[in-house]
Structure 1
Amino acid sequence: MFQKCEGIVIRSTPYGESNKIITLFTREFGKMALMARGARKPNSRLSAITQLLFCGQFLFQQSRGLGTLQQGESIHSFKEIREDLFKTAYSSYLAELLDKGTEESKVNPYLYELFYQTLDYIDEGYDATILTNIFEMKMLQVIGLRPELNQCVNCGSKEGRFAFSIRENGLLCHRCFELDPYLLPVSQATVKLLRLFYYIDLRRLGSISVKPQTKKELRTVLSMYYDEYSGLFLKSRKFLEEIEKMQSMLGPSSKEGD
């Protein structure tokens, strides 16, 4: 039985001497794995369409076990991502986060659109660091994590200065700082952005200009939170951290969108 789907390759693994097993995140079927026979051969018609982040329409043969990829046609080349080391690093990290944070065959058209839109914005030159933060915040809901971002997690106050507490799973107001000696004393700009990123409709994203110190605080909060609660180990995280260090030394390398 042959079926079609729209999807993006989020993992590509060698199998045997000439084959690959690819993992697609699709609009119609959620996450699914397919065997791509002969895809590792240089002249294979499946070679290009089984590359990481290939976005297209796929034709596959479904069976009781692993389905078999037959052919594919490109929808979006993400050319700028493929030609830029920084954009590739961020996009690969997002693909691994999506892969590790989702279950097989669980259909989620919204998440597919979010991933596609995020890659599209990175490709267009929007700030990849901020887009990564937004995607990470959105993925918290998929994983089942819900930090308190609207008020103090202890007393419920919405007024005053706030800091982020990993231990208490959310914001603490200045009256409750003593509850967590290890809380993260972030700026109020960081607090506002954490809340914004959690709720924002990415399709309505405009130009966002974020100071380097605020970006650093966002990365600290999100990295520590994921380490504490997600249970995910992402190999691409270390490489991305090295890229971010390099980026900070070179200065901003991407332009904000309009």
Structure 2
Amino acid sequence: MLHRAEGIVIRSMDYGEGNKIITLCTEVAGKVGVLVRGAKKVKSRHAALTQLFTYGEYVYFRNGTGLATLNAGELIESHHKLRADLIKAAYSSYACELLDRVLQDDETGAFWFHQLKACLSALEEDKDPQVILNLYEMKILQAAGYGPELSVCISCGNERKDEDLLLSPTLGGVICRYCKHLDPPAMPIAPRTLRVLRLFAQLDLRRLGSIDIKEETKAELKEAMRAFMDIQLGLKLKSRGFLDQMDKYDI
């Protein structure tokens, strides 16, 4: 059956001497693997459609749930600026690999597609990459069913002053100091950082405007979101390791 869908390339690999297999996050069909014949040839008209981060319209033949074959395609946005910049490429790769690992093949992909599309656009527009990725991680957690509870104590359910709350990635939200015995490693968190996390929980990436967050708050955000991602999803991502190396050497 012939399908037409807008999609973003989240993975691309060589296949045989002249072909490529790409993984698309599509708006209507979720995650789709597509064989692109002759994509590695110099004069291939489909080569541009197989590059990582590319956003395009893809027409492909698919019989059942197996690998599809590309029939035609049209480039909408190449995102070449993301591939040309080491830092932007690293963050974009992480966004794509994270979605690839979390999104199941048979899941509807509209929400994931729009969040990834907005994430890549924001990175290309030179918005703060760490803040963008932390917001994107929050959307991923929520879509995967692991969105943190940030309003009330996740243990006793009581509303507390922000000064009385700690972050418990293990329990999946905030915990008050009266319940801290249930999670001794719970992390202290500044009220201003907690407010930003709540904003992230409510904000759609497509509505992201200008962002200006203090460095100390950004450092806490990064630690908090890393803890949630590691504990709630537990994924080992190559792109995450590369970002860690960039931080280590202050790239």
- Which TM-score applies when normalising by structure 1? 0.89
1:214 shift after superposition: 1.9
- How far apart in 1 are the matches of 2:62 and 2:151? 45
The answer (yes or no) to whether the contact 1:31–1:106 under 8 Å persists in 2 is yes
How far does residue 93 in structure 1 lie from its aligned partner after superposition?
A: 0.4
CA deviation vs aligned residue, 1:184-226 (integer Å, no higher than 9, x gap): 1122222111111111122332222112222222222222222
Aligned position for 1:219: 222
Query: Residues 110-166 of structure 1, C-alpha deviation per residue, up to 9 Å, x if partnerless?
Result: 221111111111111111111100110011122221321111122322324122012
Cα distance in structure 1, aligned partners of 2:68 and 2:209: 40
Farther-moved stretch of structure 1 (129-138 vs 113-122): 113-122
Question: Identity over the aligned pairs, expressed in percent?
Answer: 42
State the partner residue of 2:79. 78
User: Which range moved further: 143-152 or 93-102?
Assistant: 143-152
In the alignment, structure 1 residue 69 sits paired with structure 2 residue 70: yes
Q: Quick one: distance in 1 between partners of 2:4 and 2:169?
A: 43
Aligned partners of 2:205 and 2:117: how far apart in 1?
11
Q: CA deviation at 1:11?
A: 0.5
Q: Is the 8 A contact 1:80 1:124 kept in 2?
A: no
> Which amino acid in 1 is paired with 2:195?
K
Structure 1: how far apart are the matches of 2:114 and 2:53? 14
Residue pairs, 1:232-251, within 5 angstroms: 232-246=235-249, 249=250
Alignment RMSD, CA only? 1.8
- In the other structure, the counterpart of 1:10 is 10
| Aligned-residue offset at 1:179 | 3.5
| Structure 1 residue 181 displacement after superposition | 2.2
Per the alignment, residue 177 of structure 1 pairs with: 180
Q: 2:167 aligns with which of 158, 164, 169?
A: 164
- Whether the 8 Å CA contact 2:172–2:232 is kept in 1: the answer is no
Residue aligned with 2:188, SS: coil
Paired AA for residue 201 in structure 2: Y
Give unmatched runs, 5+ long, in structure 2. none
Amino acid at match of 1:150: S
| The 10-residue stretch of structure 1 (171-180 or 188-197) with the greater mean CA deviation from structure 2 | 171-180
Which of 203, 208, 232 matches 1:205? 208
SS in 2 for 1:100: helix
Structure 2 CA distance for partners of 1:111 and 1:167, relative to 1, 3 Å:
closer
Question: What is aligned with 1:133?
Answer: 134
Q: Deviations over 1:202-252 (max 9, x none)?
A: 233222211222222222222222222213221110111222345xx46xx
User: Aligned to 2:187, what secondary structure does the other structure show?
Assistant: coil
Bigger mean CA offset, 133-142 vs 101-110:
101-110
2:119 aligns with 118
The residue identity in structure 1 corresponding to 2:235 is: L
Residue identity opposite 1:122 in structure 2:
L
**Residue 96 of structure 1, CA deviation:** 0.5
Cα distance in 1 for partners of 2:170, 2:55 equals: 39
Q: Distance in 2 between matches of 1:201 and 1:9?
A: 22
Q: Aligned to 1:71, what secondary structure does the other structure show?
A: strand
Aligned with 1:22: secondary structure? strand
Give the aligned residue type for 1:235. K
Q: Write the distance in 1 (CA, Å) between the matches of 2:108 and 2:162.
A: 41
Structure 1: tracts of 5 or more residues without a match: 251-258
CA deviation profile, 1:34-87 (whole Å, cap 9, x unmatched): 111122223322222101111111121222432101232111122432222111
Does structure 2 retain, via aligned residues, the 8 Å contact 1:101–1:142?
no
Match of 2:195 in 1: 192
Structure 1 pair 35–183 and aligned structure 2 pair: CA distance change class (3 A): same
